[in-house]
């Protein structure tokens, strides 16, 4: 059985913080309606989510220090911080996929926030289910950790050697299946997901984009959730670090989307991080890499790839994917 520091009080505090921020965000979305998100607004919300995550981590440490002692508090708080940094790093790669996705479907900028709000709410539910299943599997079959480690190493190697521009949505099988099984209109109708014409309900392209946003998160979760389980096997730490990172993702997208081509080396850094975390999980019975070293490696690789990207960005050029109609 997996050991966890999660208590009803900890889950309640976490739920209250996330719930309040989500209510404010959704209220603001409803009040402002569809509009273009400025860098200032996006940056403000990124700051809010990051401060909330760090503040919760500090309170989590204080709580554990009072209940379990300084050593336990330091260990689990450091695991939380490492997991959060790791999830934020992997989430950044998701942002660049969304840039391609929104460009491909020619989604008007003022509708993108609505798509991401609903997409990420669905992602939270999916992540919670996957984390619960992962925790149960690890509790019953400890060897599953080695499977997770192998998945991370393979994923990291594939990310390193894959071309960032290799995806071709026009030939995507899911898109082809949706076109053949769902009544769709070709044009956007405001921020609506469905319209009714002659008594028949049709999906708009915006609904299809939401499906793809959910799909991309599901794909990324296959890497990110095992990665956090490599850092800690405490389901509470895995869950809270995941959710805080996911909920910051929408604002991060609007902050970074104009700079996506300047971070062209980031996926190499993420590949190295995935391989390192995978190896950490595979050799755990031989040598348990201290969590402090793991945090340092993740931070150093991430910072190096970002700095290298910015340094070489003037020589790096990418062509945006062509816009298509459904």
Cβ neighbour number for residue 192 with a 10 Å cutoff: 13
Helix 70-104 vs helix 235-256: crossing angle, to nearest 10: 40
Hey, what are 24's tokens? 């404010």
- Given a contact cutoff of 8 angstroms between Cβ atoms, the answer to whether 306 and 184 are in contact is no
Confirm whether 320 is domain-assigned. no
Give the whole-angstrom CA distance, residue 169 versus residue 175: 8
Q: What is the mean pLDDT of the chain?
A: 83
Burial class (CB in 10 A: 0-12, 13-18, 19+), 262: middle
Confirm whether 257 is domain-assigned. yes
pLDDT of residue 2: 63
Ranges of H-type helices in the chain: 8-32, 39-67, 70-104, 112-140, 144-161, 173-181, 205-231, 235-256, 266-282, 291-312
Confirm whether 303 is domain-assigned. yes
Query: Above 50 in pLDDT, residue 323?
Result: no
Confirm whether 1 is domain-assigned. no
User: Please, which pLDDT band fits residue 320 given cuts at 50, 70 and 90?
Assistant: very low
Confirm whether 107 is domain-assigned. yes
Give the mean pLDDT of 69-84: 93
Give the whole-angstrom CA distance, residue 124 versus residue 217: 10
Confirm whether 324 is domain-assigned. no
Cβ neighbour number for residue 125 with a 10 Å cutoff: 10
- φ/ψ region of 267 (left if φ > 0, alpha if ψ in -120 to 50, else beta) reads alpha
Cβ neighbour number for residue 70 with a 10 Å cutoff: 11
Give the whole-angstrom CA distance, residue 15 versus residue 6: 12
Confirm whether 109 is domain-assigned. yes
pLDDT in tens, 96-109: 778 878 888 888 88
pLDDT in tens, 127-181: 889 888 888 888 888 888 888 889 889 888 988 887 555 455 666 677 777 777 7
Give the whole-angstrom CA distance, residue 115 versus residue 128: 20
Give the whole-angstrom CA distance, residue 205 versus residue 95: 20
Q: Which domain holds residue 165?
A: 8-315
Angle at 139 between CA 138 and CA 145, to 5 degrees: 20
What is the maximum alpha-carbon separation in the chain? 67
pTM of the model: 0.82
Report the range of poorest mean pLDDT among 90-99, 213-222, 311-320: 311-320
What are 202's strand-pairing partners? 195
Ranges of H-type helices in 257-290: 266-282
Query: Above 60 in pLDDT, residue 198?
Result: yes
Count of domains forming the chain: 1
Confirm whether 326 is domain-assigned. no
Cβ partners under 8 Å of residue 279, min gap 6:
149, 153
């Amino acid at each position: 059985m997996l050991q966890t520091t999660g208590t009803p009080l900890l889950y309640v505090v976490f739920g209250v913080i996330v719930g309040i921020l989500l209510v404010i965000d959704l209220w603001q979305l409803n009040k402002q309606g569809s509009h273009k998100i400025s860098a200032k607004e996006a940056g403000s919300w990124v700051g809010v989510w990051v401060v909330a995550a760090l503040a919760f981590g500090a309170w989590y440490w204080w709580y554990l220090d009072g209940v379990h002692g300084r050593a336990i508090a330091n260990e689990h708080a450091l695991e939380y911080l490492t997991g959060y940094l790791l999830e934020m790093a992997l989430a950044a790669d998701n942002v660049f996929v969304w840039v391609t996705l929104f460009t491909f479907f020619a989604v008007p900028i003022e509708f993108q926030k609505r798509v991401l709000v609903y997409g990420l709410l669905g992602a939270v539910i999916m992540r919670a289910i996957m984390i619960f299943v992962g925790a149960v599997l690890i509790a019953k079959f400890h060897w599953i950790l080695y499977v997770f480690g192998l998945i991370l190493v393979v994923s990291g190697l594939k990310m390193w050697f894959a071309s960032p521009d290799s995806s071709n949505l026009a030939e995507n099988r899911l898109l082809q299946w949706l076109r053949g099984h769902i009544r769709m209109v070709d044009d956007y109708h405001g921020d609506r997901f469905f319209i009714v014409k002659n008594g028949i309900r049709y999906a708009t392209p915006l609904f299809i984009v939401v499906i793809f946003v959910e799909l991309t998160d599901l794909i990324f979760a296959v890497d990110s959730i095992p990665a956090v389980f490599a850092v800690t096997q405490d389901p509470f730490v895995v869950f809270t670090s995941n959710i805080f990172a996911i909920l910051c993702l929408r604002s991060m997208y609007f902050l970074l989307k104009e700079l996506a081509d300047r971070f062209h080396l980031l996926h190499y850094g993420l590949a190295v991080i995935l391989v390192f975390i995978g190896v950490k999980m595979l050799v755990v019975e031989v040598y348990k890499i201290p969590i402090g070293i793991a945090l340092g490696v993740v931070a150093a690789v991430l910072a190096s790839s970002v700095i290298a990207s910015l340094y070489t960005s003037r020589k790096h050029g990418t062509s945006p994917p062509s816009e298509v109609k459904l």
